[in-house]
Amino acid sequence: MTHNIVDHHRLVQKLLDQGESFVTVTLVNIRGSAPQVIGAKAVVTRSGIEGGTVGGGKIEAAAIEYALELLANEKQHAELVTWNLQTDIGMTCGGEVKLFFDVYAQAAWPIVIFGAGHIAQALVRLLLNLDCLITCIDTRSDWLGKLPDDSKLKKICADNPSELVGIQPGNAYFVLMSKGHATDLPVLVEIL
């Protein structure tokens, strides 16, 4: 099996650009037999394997499970793990693999903007250049439609925007810039 390092780096860059947390898994050593070569890489997100392979089968299943546990920790760090293929993974062939898990826990700022008018239009375009995930909420679908399409921007048209405050991430930053005080106040009450 071969591994395309260019595709690996493109995938890593794409995930970084999207602000998505992921783990790169690299096979760094083999003792005995293993179904992949040293240097093989895989990328794991919360959805599972995104690209590459470290061998398939039980080795890969164990690597994915371990990577998901690391992602649940939400901390950027790295770990070097050695697994005996028989005792640790339950394979019949003898041998040992050493895997390097590198966690990229993205701490993109969740920013929730209430209002999609002129000022919000300019603000969103500026924020898209930063490490943040933006949610823009407005009652006017036409104004939301004027916002750029971007993987870091979620547009929500809602009749009662204040009802959406409670479902936002606990570490979210809120920006109130709707049509006026009458529409900002109910949102502010829910935030406080």
The domain boundary, picked from 104, 134, 164, lies at 104
Q: Which of 52, 61, 56 is nearest to 3 (CA)?
A: 52
Whether residue 72 is found in the same domain as residue 120: no
pLDDT at 101: 96
CB 40 within 8 Å of CB 3:
yes
CB 97 within 8 Å of CB 84:
no
pLDDT at 66: 95
pLDDT at 171: 78
pLDDT at 44: 96
Backbone conformation region of residue 79, classed left if phi is above 0, alpha if psi is from -120 to 50, else beta? beta
Whether residue 59 is found in the same domain as residue 18: yes
Domain that holds residue 123: 109-191
pLDDT at 181: 87
pLDDT at 1: 40
pLDDT at 132: 86
CB 89 within 8 Å of CB 55:
no
- Count: domains in the chain: 2
Whether residue 116 is found in the same domain as residue 186: yes
Whether residue 69 is found in the same domain as residue 145: no
Rounded distance between C-alpha atoms, residue 64 and residue 50, angstroms: 10
Whether residue 86 is found in the same domain as residue 132: no
The domain boundary, picked from 64, 82, 104, lies at 104
Residue 26: other Cβ atoms inside 10 A? 19
Whether residue 96 is found in the same domain as residue 17: yes
CB 44 within 8 Å of CB 25:
yes
130-155 per-residue burial string, b: 16 or more CB within 10 A, e: under 16: eebbbbbbbbeeebbeebeeeebbeb
pLDDT at 130: 87
Whether residue 32 is found in the same domain as residue 89: yes
Q: Which of 150, 156, 169, 59 is nearest to 108 (CA)?
A: 169
Whether residue 22 is found in the same domain as residue 99: yes
pLDDT at 3: 59
pLDDT at 73: 76
Structure tokens at 65: 């499970």
Whether residue 78 is found in the same domain as residue 135: no
Whether residue 52 is found in the same domain as residue 92: yes
CATH code of 172's domain: 3.40.50.720
The domain boundary, picked from 88, 104, 120, lies at 104
pLDDT, tens digit only, all 192 positions of the chain: 445 889 999 999 888 877 788 999 999 999 988 778 899 999 999 889 999 999 888 999 999 999 999 988 766 789 999 998 888 888 877 789 999 999 988 767 889 999 999 999 999 999 999 878 899 999 999 999 999 999 889 999 999 998 889 888 777 899 999 888 888 888 898 888
Whether residue 140 is found in the same domain as residue 162: yes
pLDDT at 139: 93
Tokens 């009749």 correspond to: 159
Q: Which value, in Å, is the radius of gyration of the alpha carbons in the chain?
A: 22
Whether residue 132 is found in the same domain as residue 146: yes
